[in-house]
Amino acid sequence: MALILERFLAFIDLESTGVSPERDRIVEIAILKLHPDGREDFRRKRVNPGVPIPPEATAVHGISDADVASDPPFIQYARGVDAFLSECDLAGFGITHFDLPLLRAELMRTRRIDFQWRKRRVIDAMAIFHNRHPRNLAAAVRIYCGRDFPEAHSAEEDVRAAMAVLSAQLEHHSDLPTTIDELHRLLNRDGDDWVDHDGRLVWVDGEVALAFGQHKGRPLRDLVVTNADYLQWMLTGDFPPDAKELVLAALRGEYPTSA
């Protein structure tokens, strides 16, 4: 791979019960960890999600309830996964919007592990691909690797394909940077004002405020007084755990302040 590694780079792929990082559960996890010297360390585990796997999800990844009936729940893997990724930058295909939020939600849900992935350097090959060729992983393999990809949605094959696509992208697009730090800055343009990991809450004049919807820009401190029912709705909605924790704290009268 042409990419210059200063530390571990972990390619991650998850198969799940659905497409919501907050509501759904992991059924398979694959991690391919690259060492700066080029060595690889691969881990793959099937997971019993503890809930039925919908037929539409099985149709995508081929994993049914029967396939994972005797596998451990994610709670048994959580600390090991967190430790395995502890010194890693993160990479994959589509991980920014799905795999990393789902992994963080599972770690928080099972072991209260706060997986601060937005504080890591993240290289999402899909961001490069959508910038150059807006399609999917199978198309990326055909375009960049010159082969068909019938193994799509097997976690092991997906994670290896993501690594192959990123490697080919770096060779194909000579203008792309080859250091993790430069690629991270190119592909991740999140605002410095984000409070939670998904940017649902932002800093406004030193106060935590909403960054979406009809109350966009209004501080939680004001909403607690005038629209507490809206904040209660957020606690039951499809919002990330760290955003809900901040909302719950505000309802208790606790408000963080920016440094």
Given a cut of 60, is residue 246 above it in pLDDT? yes
Return d(Cα 104, Cα 211) in angstroms, integer.
Answer: 21
Return d(Cα 115, Cα 118) in angstroms, integer.
Answer: 9
Which of 27-31, 220-224, 229-233 is the least confident region? Answer: 229-233
DSSP 219: B
Return d(Cα 108, Cα 103) in angstroms, integer.
Answer: 9
CATH class of 8-187: alpha beta
Top-confidence residue, 108 or 192: 108
Query: What are the tens digits of pLDDT across the range 55-70?
Result: 888 888 999 999 999 9
Q: What dihedral do alpha carbons 59, 60, 66, 69 form, nearest 10°?
A: -150
Given a cut of 80, is residue 247 above it in pLDDT? yes
Cβ contact 10:138 at 8 Å: no
- The answer to pTM > 0.75 is no
| Mean pLDDT, all residues of the chain | 89
Given a cut of 80, is residue 155 above it in pLDDT? yes
- 10 Å CB burial of residue 119 (0-12, 13-18, 19+) is exposed
Q: Which of 131-145, 154-168, 225-239 is modeled with the greatest confidence?
A: 154-168
- What percentage of the chain exceeds 90 in pLDDT? 53
For range 90-94, the mean pLDDT:
94
Given a cut of 60, is residue 41 above it in pLDDT? yes
Question: Backbone phi, then psi, for 180, in 5-degree steps?
Answer: -60, -40
DSSP 84: H
Residues of the chain with CATH 3.30.420.10: 8-187
Question: Residue 9: CB partners within 8 Å, gap ≥ 6?
Answer: 3, 33, 34, 88, 89, 90, 91, 123, 180
Placement of tokens 């099985």 in the chain: 58
**Beta-strand relationship, 40-46 and 26-34:** antiparallel
Q: What dihedral do alpha carbons 220, 225, 229, 231 form, nearest 10°?
A: 10
